[in-house]
Amino acid sequence: MTAIIYHRDYLEHETGNHPENKYRLIAIMNEIQDSNLNINIIKPKQASIDEVNLVHTPNYIKKVAKYSKNELPLDPDTITCKDSYETALFSAGGAITAVDTLDKEDNAFALVRPPRHHALPDKGMGFCLFNNIGIGAKYALDKKGYERVMIIDWDVHHGNGTQNIFYDDPSVFYFSIHQLPCYPGTGFSEERGLGKGERFTKNIPLPPGSGDKEYLDIFEKYLAPAADKYKPDLILVSAGFDAHIDDPMADMNVTGKGFEKMASEVYSIADKHCDGKLAMVLEGGYNPRALSYSVKKVLEVMSE
């Protein structure tokens, strides 16, 4: 069965009319409740400070707590409210819970917010407070005994924070397909890792206007061979849906059906290399209708 990691406290990160707002998750949960998906909804644990410290510096963690208490923005795009710090701990805990859940469930999808993949070890940016998928990957390696984690990032924006965290670490293969030029201006094909991590970062930038065919061609031509060579024992997905044709934050043409096919490809890779151990963590997606439909199509693949 597919586990959905969700907590109502994710709605407490109050951002008003900001593109990253609680109505994204409300739309997804309404879509799920109206479906016949074979899922099990699980409440996440709240990440401990030590678990967040697997990725982030102690001073930055204290900064998030302080700025949230005073409702100050971390940068012009990354706002906080009085509940943001506690919500961010639950969001990080959602990724950790998704990894733990794989001990019992077939796969998992952490429907969390605020999102995460732009957050650097010592800096929040791009709507992101803590890098939850980075925390989940480090937790899997350090606490659960996994040895090779592949992170697949199909959010339309490059996950500069995730790349930065694991850039010299061969225990994580970071694969990103994203629009370029686009925020945050990183993710060029020449960025391939550093030191022992060289060749364990793979960036596939695509031009604006790319759609289902271009994405699926990349999955077949680059992702599957990379997984065959790396042989991961766990796959994590930064599942952003802002490459959708109706999303206002980028200029791609992926459809809900395209996300469904992408999920099918990823599931096949997980089934081949790591006994189906697959956890997805929600990233972007700023058209609630397109987002909720696309998530449902992905969950249909996972729950089958």
Active site members: 118
Helix, strand counts (H, E) of the chain: 10, 8
Q: From CA 133, how far away is CA 131, in angstroms rounded?
A: 6
Beta strands in 123-208 (DSSP E): 149-153, 172-179, 201-206
Q: Pick from 257, 249, 183, 255: which is nearest to 24 by CA?
A: 249
Measured at the CA of 64, the angle between CA 77 and CA 47, to 5 degrees, comes to 115
Q: Pick from 33, 99, 29, 40: which is nearest to 281 by CA?
A: 99
Residue type, 82: K
Q: From CA 208, how far away is CA 222, in angstroms rounded?
A: 19
Q: Which residues pair with 153 in a beta bridge?
A: 176, 238
